[in-house]
Each structure stands twice: as structure tokens, then as C-alpha cells.
Amino acid sequence: MTKTLRDYQFADLVFHMAEDRSLNLSDPGTGKTPTAAFWTYHQVQEGRRVIWTQPGSLLQKNFDELIDWTPLTAQDIVIVDGTAAQRKRKWESDAKVFICGPTCFGREWMLSPPDTTALVIDEVHMQFPTNDSARTQSLYTAMRERFRWMLAMTGSLIKGRLNSAYPMIHILEPRYYMNHESFNWMHQILGADGHCVGWKGHDRIGQILGQHAVRHTFEECYPDAQEDVIIRETCPMSPAQRAAYDEFAAKAILELEDRFLEGTLPGVHALRCRQIMACPETFGLCAGEKTGKDERLLVHLADAKLDGGPRAIFGVFQEELERIADLCEKQGFRTALHYGKTSAKARGQIDIDFRAGRYDIVVGSAPTMAVGYNWEHLVQEIFTSLNYEDVDFLQARRRGNRGTRKTALRVSVLEYERSIDQRIFQIVERKSKDAHLVDPTQKQFEFGGKDEAPAAVLNAARRGGFSMEDLT
């Protein structure tokens, strides 16, 4: 008999309850949050208090889901925010579950009551992907000194670099690797200049995670789900954009070689090229004009007027997002701007209003919009620019495809012809391949439609790694 999503969630819960520390690495949209909510209630029943740490966008959502999925009430749960004095009072309250953001957790977990010994980490890849950050080091201290129990969740543990998995592996069982340096020594491929140019030992990491994690694919949980339709759309730059872009282009391509993306941001020339493409107004270009991507976006907005369906538009740069939101509003769409400047409270309200039909379009960045939200009512997602992370692209698509769609989600990816957009696509595809080699159930995606992708990315990835079937 075919297993249902509820079967998987129950089996996952049994696994997590049997382990002091474990991971749920299931795809976005496969029901990780309800499982974590039940696990939290079990911890409370055992006399332990729990901290949930997650990106600020998800504070209200997870508060609501804990109430929806468990017997816990609003009096049992507190969102730790506000001024320092307000946060201190909340930490000292009688709440059983404390919900906070990663910065608050890193600085203030020690203010929670001594019986707060269980931790839930939602979207761990966004909070603790780097070993040396102060936030991750604080997490290590917390796990040594206070928290015996942990459930961490993400559908994208490998965030471009294999060592983004190290913090969780170290917490689960530090004896796998002596330290972070030994992990890098075992898995990095170094070039002649000492920079990392690739990764090896994917299967070892897959086998380690297989001992401590549950994982279900989107297709496994929703066998009848519609596939996303990804369409690349090429746009011309304006003459002024092209002239300014070409001044930086050659050095920008050099800066986007793989070795410049290992643990650092690309160089200034690549950044300038991206800004010229995404927000030329910041350089005094295209004043009073629409960019090539703006013109293509207007075509999509005309379609939106005809079908009346809601859209989500993703971009990278603040000025780009603000310009796009203004463009949408001038076309008569009720538009919400959801990006780094948007407060956690406002993000939660935008989610509620968007699902209720009070907004037609939400414009924002993938790091703020691509986790946690259930927006299956979307007709289309449009990407005017991409960052360098495959996980953000996958997570963003999963906002509009949670498994019960009756029609395919249209995903339009805009690109400028003869630009570093094509190189960025290659980088995102390469990172997707690395994640697939660690765990073959992670879907490796290709943008397709062009012939610029290197042959290594287009070749089928080798099989291997772990399977979670025996856990269910």
C-alpha cells in the first residue's frame, strides 16, 4: 500500500524521538514543520522547555503552526523580540516554547530558564552554514553547555559548499572529523594557488547524514504533483547599460571563476556588472527609461491583468526590488515589498494578506521570501536576477509548489544576453550538482534553453549516497 504524507510524518516523529539529536532533510513542502511541532510538544510533556530559532520571516508562521498542530496554546508560546528589556522579560516568563531569530538566539540563549534544554532549528542552512561565524560558535557552546536535544530542519543542507554541512555534523557527532580543518582537508580539492576548486568525498557525507537524518523527496510525498516549468527569457540591455557593462565585463567573468566563490563574495567588477544590469539607476543610467528586463516584466504583468492570478517576483538588489515594486504599482497591482528592510511582523502580515487575496503581487528577495510560506495559489514566479545559491532558487520555487497543484507552476527566469547572467546560472547548477552527489534524492536541476552550460554540469550525476527508505 502506498504510504501517505501522514505515514511519513509519523515515522519521522518516531525516529526523532528515539534520537537526542537529529535532522529532517526532507524537501521543502513535505511536512517538516508539523513533525517538529509534535516533537516540541513531546519535549514539553517530558518537562523540558524548547527554543525554536528560525529566520525572522518565520517567527509568526511557526507560532501559528505550533498552535495549529499541537495542544499548546498562545499562553505556552512566546516570540522573543522587542527591546532588550522586553526580551529579558520574555525569557523570564512561564512560556514553554520560546521563538526567536538566529541573532537573538546566538546572543541570548543563556538567558532562557535552565530547564530549556531542547532546540528546534528551522531552515538551518540559512542560520548556521559557516563554522567560523560568531553565531555558529555560540551554537556549539549552547549544545555543549545546555541543549541535549535538537531537531534541525532544512531541505538544503548543502549550501553551495560541502563544508556548509560541517556545523550540523559536528553537533551530531564530533568524532566524524577532528575539526573543521580536517573536514576541509578530507573534502576540498585545491588548485595550484591553494584555493578550493572543487569537492570530493560526497558519498562519505551522504552516509554520515544517513545515520542521523530522515529525508523524503517532494516526488515521494506528492507522486501526482505537477512539475515546475522553468523558462529562460533573454532580454537586451539598453545602449547605455551595454556600454557601461562592457567596461567591467572581462574582469567580472574572471572574478566569477570557482575559486573566487569559496568562502568569499565575488569581486568588485562582478558586483558592478550585476548592479548595472539590475539597478542601473544607481549609476545614473537609464534615467526615465525602462531596462530590458523591465520591458519583459511588463509583458508578464499584462498577462497577469488578463488572468488575474497572483505572482511572486524575486530579485537580488534592494534598489532593483524597489523599482520593480513601483513598476507593478503603477500598472495597478496591489503590491507588497518583502525584503531585508521589511520587519518580521510586517512579513508575517504580508503572508496573511497575500494568501487572503489582498495583494496581487509580492516582490522580494529569495533569502526573505523563499522559506516557509505556503503560496500554492501562485500562477507564476518571476526571477529578474539570481544570487549564487542553488538552495535559494529551489526554496523559492517550492513556495508556489507545495505538492497539491493541479497545474504546473510557471517559473520565468530573465537574463541579459551576453552577460554574466549565464555564468551565474552555471554556478547555481554546479552547486546543485554537488548537493546531488552528496544525496542523489536531491534533484539536480538545469536551467536549459541555452548551450553555455559546461559539459560537466550537463552530464548525468553519478549514483550513490544514502537512502532513507529503511527509516519508514
DSSP letters of 9-57?
A: HHHHHHHHHH-SEEEE-PPTTSSHHHHHHHHHHHHHHTT-EEEEE--GG
pLDDT at 3: 62
Encode pLDDT of 35-90 as tens digits.
Answer: 999 999 999 999 999 999 988 767 888 898 899 899 999 999 999 998 999 999 99
Lowest mean pLDDT among 173-182, 214-223, 406-415, 427-436: 214-223
- The mean pLDDT of the chain is 85
pLDDT at 60: 82
Name the percent of the chain lying above pLDDT 90: 48
Per-residue pLDDT averaged across 279-300, rounded? 85
Residues in Cβ contact with 176 at an 8 Å cutoff, skipping those fewer than 6 apart: 169, 170, 208
Q: How far apart are CA 129 and CA 159, in angstroms?
A: 7
Question: Is the pLDDT assigned to residue 465 strictly greater than 60?
Answer: no
Question: Is the pLDDT assigned to residue 16 strictly greater than 90?
Answer: yes
pLDDT at 257: 57
Domain with CATH 3.40.50.10810 in the chain: 5-221
Name the percent of the chain lying above pLDDT 70: 90
Encode pLDDT of 302-323 as tens digits.
Answer: 888 878 889 999 999 999 999 9
Per-residue pLDDT averaged across 226-249, rounded? 84
| Res. 454 pLDDT band, cuts 50 70 90 | very low
Q: How far is CA 230 from the centre of its chain?
A: 18
* Maximum separation of any 2 CA atoms in the chain, in Å: 67
Judge contact between 327 and 315, C-beta under 8 A. Answer: no
- The more confident residue out of 71 and 465 is 71
Q: Give whichever of 175-189, 211-225, 384-398, 405-419 has the largest mean pLDDT.
A: 175-189
Q: How far apart are CA 263 and CA 163, in angstroms?
A: 10
| Res. 255 pLDDT band, cuts 50 70 90 | low
pLDDT at 448: 63
- Indicate the CATH number of 5-221 among 3.40.50.10810, 3.40.640.10, 3.30.9.100, 3.40.50.880: 3.40.50.10810
- The more confident residue out of 452 and 440 is 440
Domain with CATH 3.40.50.300 in the chain: 229-419
| Res. 452 pLDDT band, cuts 50 70 90 | very low
- The more confident residue out of 318 and 233 is 318
Encode pLDDT of 121-179 as tens digits.
Answer: 998 988 898 999 999 999 999 999 999 999 999 887 887 789 999 999 999 999 999 99
pLDDT at 110: 97
| Res. 455 pLDDT band, cuts 50 70 90 | very low
Q: How far is CA 266 from the centre of its chain?
A: 20
Please check whether the domain covering 229-419 is classified as CATH 3.40.718.10: no
Look at residue 103 and give its three-state secondary structure: helix
